[in-house]
Structure 1
Amino acid sequence: MAKEQINGNFKSQYRLLRDYIEEVKNTNPGFKAIGRDLLGFDGAFLKIEWHGQLLTTVGLDPNNGYYPLAYAVVEAETMLSWQWFLQCLRDDLDMDSRSKFTFMSDRQKGLIQAVERVFPCTEHRYCLRYITENMKKIFKGKIYKDSIRKLATCTTAVHYEREMHILKRLNKRAHLWVSKIPPSHWSKSHFTGRALSNVLINKMCEVFHSKLVDGRDKPIITLLEYMREYLMRKIVNVLKVIDKSLGLLTPYATNIMESVNKEANRYTMHWNGKVHYQVTGPNSDQWEVIGGIPYRHVVASIWVKAAHDPDVGKESFVTPIYTMERCKAVYSYKVYPINGMSMWPKSHGSTLIIEYHKPIGRSKKYRKKSHVEKEEATIGKKGKKVKGKSVEVKEQGPSKKAKIVRKARPPGSNACGGCCQKGHNIRSCLVVV
């Protein structure tokens, strides 16, 4: 009863849902800004009585931060749901079927088919983490994970084929498994470059969903308000960063240019008198495009060109999407507050509520982490990864991890399985073998 007074009633909020939608449309018109032509798609379960799925699309802003663009609540994650979501997105952004966006996803149910129907000309990237997780189910070991990573980060088709040949010598079955996934969907070496980004993981959607965990178990309108208010706060926080930023480029692009300049000092350039330059230096046989920012080879060439033309500057070769001017334009759109419930316009439509039988037990709030995520989290902590059961040893200062080897104990004994002593069990045992 207390939760219902705070968050609202599930069933009554569904009856008011159409009124709420009309209010949001009236108070927030014309929101159509995009940082660049790259959008990530993902879905998340709702932890409510009638279940459902939250579909989201998130882009990247000029400072390479995540930019939530659209979201919708649907009954299930199916091809028809994704198709409807993409059609709404197409109409709202005045796009057409020939739009050459770049989409990124975990290959959710029905999404690939929906994209092919609504946006047949788009480039569709597959999240590298999802590919790695699927491969790990069949081919165990760090060597295969590293091989996938090398293939994904290759910058030329020649280097990609070289890594594929190494994988084939290692395991022909693994090579065949990887060959079935076209490299244009997941390797830098085969990206078109239209997205001006070499992102390999659909992290923008993951970050956005992590901010909504506390709202996904609320009634429908409370959930939508939780998201709208979060977006209001996020835009304000970004505007604070914009006010503090100086210079032509965004902080993200400025930091990359600084590191690129250091690398460019290690290269020697020879000008042919026209528009071509010969590059000599470390890794001069590998080229990489950092999403519209000139790489070390190009910067070294620009320095030679600037010696003959003083009007040439490195920043002029950076794509406009990384300028502070573009960043300010993207965040010139705001999310506006709405009126109280009593002032919402009354819609004439009705919402059909399908009763759902809630299973026994408390519903889980957080999703299960994959094997790859658990492994990355373990390796990221202080110390090395430890197999087997681990315990926290409080008496030895900072928290440490240690492997426990179970000792044999007499049948029927209530002694500890770690040290064979009575009075405690292995969970609270402080003896590390």
Structure 2
Amino acid sequence: MDEPKELSNDGYEWLMKTPLSMWSKHAFDHRCKSDHVTNNMTESFNHWINPYREKPILTLVDQLRRRLAEKMLGRYEKGCGYVGVLTPRTKHRLDLIASKARNCQILATGNLEYEVYDGFFRYIVNLNHKTCNCMLWEASGVPCKHAASAIQYRRGNLEEYCSEFFSIQRYLAAHQEMVHALPDISMAPNIQETNVLQPPPLKRLPGRPVKNRRREPGEEPTASFRRKTTSVKCDTCKEVGHNRRTCQLAAVKKKRPVQARKQKAPVSTSRMATRSQTTNASTVESMQEKKMRKMKEYLAKRRARMAGTGGAGGDAIGASSTSVTGGDAGAAGAGGDGGDGGAGTDFFEHLSNL
């Protein structure tokens, strides 16, 4: 028992509190000839009767009677077709045990007593008393691999050393009793005796009715009700139980100075602009600025073009005027053009100052 204690001290203490006859094969009751250590048969039976749990008591008993009658008759008819001494499942079990017994070494000491070496361990097998040190033969009724090795050593038959509980004769005897048919409950005789014990008055208890099976102390809940627990591992110190944010070995980060926020002047609700109004106003202003910038660029280009071509144009106009109408007409024409040019220049300067 040192190995379970090294693996888990809590598990070792739990096993010590539990009787050996409930979890160790060597301490089982040898009269039942069963080596099952799980409650799989109980769980299977609970699933078998699960559709009838919520039925009334009479319906529940009648449904169980029908299922048992069907099961007993089916097994009896199936057992009538078996051939040999043992049931087919027991034969298959013996074949597996015989294959494992080939790895054992035998030392005969006389009077059907043998020393069987299985790896680093040694066992004593007595074929007269049908015993073995591992206690599996006595508990299950089927020879263990040590006993099977000794039986094969003396050219014996494994079926002769099995318990009679695994024989076809006992199997048929266990299922030969039939479950008799019953009439409908409405045809049952009415008993008018006064001393018949009546059922207690039905009283509905508060709360939701319990439908789940009552579990034994220490039995684990099902997977749907089991709480999921996960262990957190720190990335800094690689220890379990915390993360890197709460790690005590992590480097301390310098705190940033907290800057005081500027307090804005209170704005009355009536003067507060909404987001859509602010967006529309900024869009209009940006479009006006874009138009004014293009206008200024256009005026600057035109002013530069007129400054480069104004002198030559004036001389040509004056010469043509003198040749056609004389000096006064040319001066008047030149003056007229000059007046128009001055007026145009003042207009451009006014636009550029906007």
With normalisation by structure 2, the TM-score equals 0.52
Structure 1 residues 254-263 or 243-252, which shifts more?
A: 243-252
Q: Secondary structure at the match of 2:107?
A: strand
Q: Is the counterpart of residue 354 in structure 1 residue 201 in structure 2?
A: yes
Measured in 2, the distance between the counterparts of 1:387 and 1:175 equals 23
Measured in 2, the distance between the counterparts of 1:345 and 1:285 equals 68
Measured in 1, the distance between the counterparts of 2:21 and 2:185 equals 49
Which residue identity is paired with 1:323? Answer: S
Q: CA deviation at 1:231?
A: 0.6
**Matched residue, 1:340:** 184
CA pair 372-219 structure 1, distance change in 2 beyond 3 A: closer
**Matched residue, 1:87:** none
Q: Secondary structure at the match of 2:154?
A: helix
- From 277, 280, 290, give the equivalent of 2:114: 277
**Pairing 1:215-230 to 2, within 5 Å after superposition:** 215-230=52-67
**Matched residue, 2:3:** 163
Measured in 2, the distance between the counterparts of 1:264 and 1:195 equals 25
Q: Secondary structure at the match of 2:93?
A: helix
**Matched residue, 2:145:** 296
Q: CA deviation at 1:321?
A: 0.1
Deviations 1:207-248 (A, max 9, x none): 222111111211221111011111111112322431343221
Verify the 8 A CA contact 1:213 1:366 in the aligned structure 2: no
Q: CA deviation at 1:163?
A: 2.9
Gaps of 5+ in 1: 1-160, 307-311, 379-385, 389-433
**Matched residue, 1:264:** 101
Indicate the RMSD between aligned Cα atoms, in angstroms.
3.1
Q: Is the counterpart of residue 321 in structure 1 residue 165 in structure 2?
A: yes
Identical-pair percentage:
23
Measured in 1, the distance between the counterparts of 2:176 and 2:112 equals 39
Measured in 2, the distance between the counterparts of 1:188 and 1:200 equals 8
**Matched residue, 2:318:** none
Verify the 8 A CA contact 1:261 1:299 in the aligned structure 2: yes
Which residue identity is paired with 1:236? Answer: L
Measured in 2, the distance between the counterparts of 1:259 and 1:288 equals 18
Q: CA deviation at 1:165?
A: 4.2
**Matched residue, 1:199:** 36
Q: CA deviation at 1:206?
A: 2.3
Q: CA deviation at 1:301?
A: 0.9
**Matched residue, 1:6:** none
CA pair 174-212 structure 1, distance change in 2 beyond 3 A: closer
Q: CA deviation at 1:331?
A: 0.3
Measured in 2, the distance between the counterparts of 1:281 and 1:174 equals 28
Deviations 1:166-197 (A, max 9, x none): 25xx53x5544432223233222433423211
Gaps of 5+ in 2: 124-133, 231-354
Q: CA deviation at 1:317?
A: 0.4
Deviations 1:65-98 (A, max 9, x none): xxxxxxxxxxxxxxxxxxxxxxxxxxxxxxxxxx
Write 1 or 2 for the structure with the bigger share of helix: 2
Which residue identity is paired with 2:164? Answer: P
Measured in 1, the distance between the counterparts of 2:39 and 2:77 equals 26
Measured in 1, the distance between the counterparts of 2:21 and 2:59 equals 41
Verify the 8 A CA contact 1:271 1:304 in the aligned structure 2: no
Q: Secondary structure at the match of 1:269?
A: strand
**Matched residue, 1:210:** 47
Verify the 8 A CA contact 2:5 2:11 in the aligned structure 1: no
Verify the 8 A CA contact 2:4 2:11 in the aligned structure 1: no
CA pair 274-182 structure 1, distance change in 2 beyond 3 A: same
Q: Secondary structure at the match of 2:85?
A: coil
Measured in 1, the distance between the counterparts of 2:120 and 2:69 equals 45
Which residue identity is paired with 2:30? Answer: G
Which residue identity is paired with 1:355? Answer: L
Verify the 8 A CA contact 2:69 2:178 in the aligned structure 1: yes
Verify the 8 A CA contact 2:85 2:167 in the aligned structure 1: yes
Which residue identity is paired with 2:2? Answer: R
Which residue identity is paired with 1:258? Answer: D
CA pair 227-235 structure 1, distance change in 2 beyond 3 A: same
Verify the 8 A CA contact 2:105 2:116 in the aligned structure 1: yes
CA pair 368-184 structure 1, distance change in 2 beyond 3 A: closer
CA pair 175-205 structure 1, distance change in 2 beyond 3 A: closer
Q: CA deviation at 1:365?
A: 4.4
Q: CA deviation at 1:358?
A: 4.5
Measured in 2, the distance between the counterparts of 1:336 and 1:216 equals 23
Number of aligned residues: 211
Q: CA deviation at 1:284?
A: 4.2
Measured in 1, the distance between the counterparts of 2:185 and 2:108 equals 69
Q: CA deviation at 1:368?
A: 8.3
CA pair 216-387 structure 1, distance change in 2 beyond 3 A: same
CA pair 246-342 structure 1, distance change in 2 beyond 3 A: same
